[in-house]
């Protein structure tokens, strides 16, 4: 039988760190029916009813039974522009500054293929979302980690990046509210990134997946709110978290027209755009009453407060996340993040994500998702207390 050796590009792809964890959880669930899974990043609530109803209605439109326009329907791009004007007071040209994605995961991989040649450098947050690595690997690019440490509020220290690295860099990935740390951005952070982008001709890519989820009345900042941002980069927005539409696969790239042009060019060769009914429902989500979003944020904030309070009660010295639906908690002394996660899984039947899976600087932490109800979060802390680790 032929072996059909995989291409060099596929062999460069990083191993999926969390697949082993998923397999362990599946096996544990076969033996126990009380496993509390806090390791996931999958929203646990349904899509709001008014969005689902719009899809049902739109799916009957025969226009959508044909191929969609390659670049997406103009009405959806206009909805994105309206959203940015309403939420951030940012003017967006829907004809030149918006690209429609089949989820931002796709866009984050595509953008490296658009702008990296073999040997080109991409500046990547560490810890960070592992799919940044995938696109860089497929392109033959080189990852240069930007450490996110607590002393810097989990912001990169741009001054520590060597000039030789900046001269070779073509992309910079940022992500706030941050996965996995829960940190939020400041104007100064984005201003510094824009300055570096301009000086070294680096495209700044801001992953705004958790853009709606901020706490204590603080609205997370859009990169595009900062003057000069569209000159050097783009923002990637998804409906997955804001509207519990993870399975719908709707995302956008917004900003620099040259980047939009490149994304739309590569997508013409990959696929025809999203089903039109989904595009109409997505536009409706962006333009309709946003009380469902406020209700969602309120729910996550309640869960955050319950988790942090319960953790502190058992002696766990933790900080509350400022945004996203993740908490980033330190591992007790004497454990690696994998060892700690393994013990919680086996002895407390609580699943958390070991920090090392997000990069070298993720070691010493575990990521906990706010994707279970308050009762389960408190029960998880109760079980961990019984291990006498703190």
Per DSSP, 2 falls in state: -
**Average confidence (pLDDT) over 142-155:** 97
DSSP E strand boundaries for 190-314:
203-207, 233-238, 251-255
Q: What DSSP string runs through 181-217?
A: T-----HHHHHHHHHHHHHHT-EEEEE-TTTT-BSTT
pLDDT for 24 equals 80
Percent of the chain with pLDDT over 90: 91
pLDDT at 137 over 80: yes
pLDDT for 87 equals 97
pLDDT at 18 over 80: no
Alpha carbon of 49 to those of 53, 287, 366: distances in Å? 6, 15, 34
User: Kind and range of the H or E element at 250?
Assistant: none
pLDDT band at 20 (very low <50, low <70, confident <90, very high): confident
Q: How far apart are the first and last CA of the chain?
A: 56
**Average confidence (pLDDT) over 213-242:** 97
Q: What are the tokens at 171?
A: 């992309």
pLDDT band at 54 (very low <50, low <70, confident <90, very high): very high
pLDDT band at 245 (very low <50, low <70, confident <90, very high): very high
Q: What are the tokens at 121?
A: 């450098």
Mean pLDDT of the chain: 95
Can you list the domains of the chain with their CATH numbers? Answer: 11-40+292-385 (3.90.1150.10), 63-287 (3.40.640.10)
Q: What are the tokens at 379?
A: 């029960």
pLDDT band at 40 (very low <50, low <70, confident <90, very high): confident
40 against 215, higher pLDDT: 215
pLDDT at 123 over 80: yes
**Average confidence (pLDDT) over 256-272:** 95
pLDDT at 142 over 80: yes
**Average confidence (pLDDT) over 180-207:** 98
pLDDT for 307 equals 98
pLDDT for 46 equals 97
pLDDT at 369 over 90: yes
Rounded Cα–Cα distance for residues 22 and 12 (Å): 22
Backbone angles phi, psi at 39, to 5 degrees: -95, -5
Half-sphere exposure of 166 (CA within 13 A, CB side): 14
Of these ranges, 25-29, 130-134, 229-233, the one predicted with the greatest mean pLDDT is 229-233
pLDDT band at 23 (very low <50, low <70, confident <90, very high): confident
pLDDT for 198 equals 97
pLDDT at 33 over 90: no
pLDDT band at 21 (very low <50, low <70, confident <90, very high): confident
pLDDT for 26 equals 84
pLDDT for 25 equals 80
Q: What are the tokens at 51?
A: 């969005």
pLDDT for 204 equals 98
pLDDT for 122 equals 98
Contact in structure between 360 and 40 (CB atoms under 8 Å): no
Tell me the pLDDT tens digit for each residue of 67-121.
999 999 999 999 999 999 999 999 999 999 999 999 999 999 999 999 999 999 9
């Amino acid at each position: 039988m032929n072996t059909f050796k995989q291409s060099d590009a596929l062999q460069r792809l990083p191993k999926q760190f969390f697949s082993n964890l998923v397999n362990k959880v599946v096996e544990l669930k076969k033996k126990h029916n009380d496993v509390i899974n806090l390791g996931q990043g999958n929203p646990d609530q349904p899509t709001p009813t008014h969005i689902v109803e719009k899809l049902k209605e739109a799916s009957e439109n025969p226009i959508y039974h044909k191929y969609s326009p390659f670049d997406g329907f103009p009405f959806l791009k206009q909805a994105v522009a309206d959203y940015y004007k309403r939420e951030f007071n940012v003017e967006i040209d829907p004809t030149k500054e918006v690209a429609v994605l089949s989820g931002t995961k796709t866009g984050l991989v595509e953008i490296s293929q658009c702008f990296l040649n073999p040997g080109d450098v991409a500046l990547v947050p560490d810890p960070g979302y592992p799919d940044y690595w995938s696109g860089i690997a497929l392109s033959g690019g080189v990852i240069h980690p930007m450490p996110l440490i607590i002393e810097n509020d989990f912001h990169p220290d741009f001054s520590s990046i060597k000039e030789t690295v900046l001269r070779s860099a073509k992309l910079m990935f940022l992500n706030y509210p941050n996965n996995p740390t829960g940190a939020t951005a400041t104007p100064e952070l984005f201003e510094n990134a824009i300055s570096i982008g301009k000086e070294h001709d680096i495209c700044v890519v801001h992953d705004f997946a958790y853009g709606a989820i901020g706490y204590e009345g603080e609205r997370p900042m859009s990169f595009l709110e900062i003057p000069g941002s569209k000159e050097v980069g783009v923002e990637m927005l998804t409906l997955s978290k804001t509207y519990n539409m993870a399975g719908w696969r709707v995302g956008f790239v917004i900003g620099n027209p040259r980047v939009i042009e490149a994304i739309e060019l590569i997508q013409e060769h990959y696929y025809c755009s999203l089903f039109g009914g989904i595009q109409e429902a997505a536009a409706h989500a962006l333009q309709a009453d946003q009380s469902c979003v406020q209700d969602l944020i309120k729910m996550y904030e309640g869960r955050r407060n319950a988790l942090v309070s319960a953790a502190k009660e058992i002696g766990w010295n933790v900080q509350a996340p400022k945004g996203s639906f993740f908490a980033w908690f330190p591992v007790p002394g004497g454990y690696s993040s994998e060892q700690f996660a393994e013990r919680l899984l086996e002895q407390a039947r609580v699943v958390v994500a070991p920090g090392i899976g997000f990069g070298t600087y993720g070691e010493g932490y575990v990521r906990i998702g706010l994707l279970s109800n308050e009762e389960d979060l408190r029960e998880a802390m109760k079980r961990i207390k019984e291990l006498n680790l703190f």
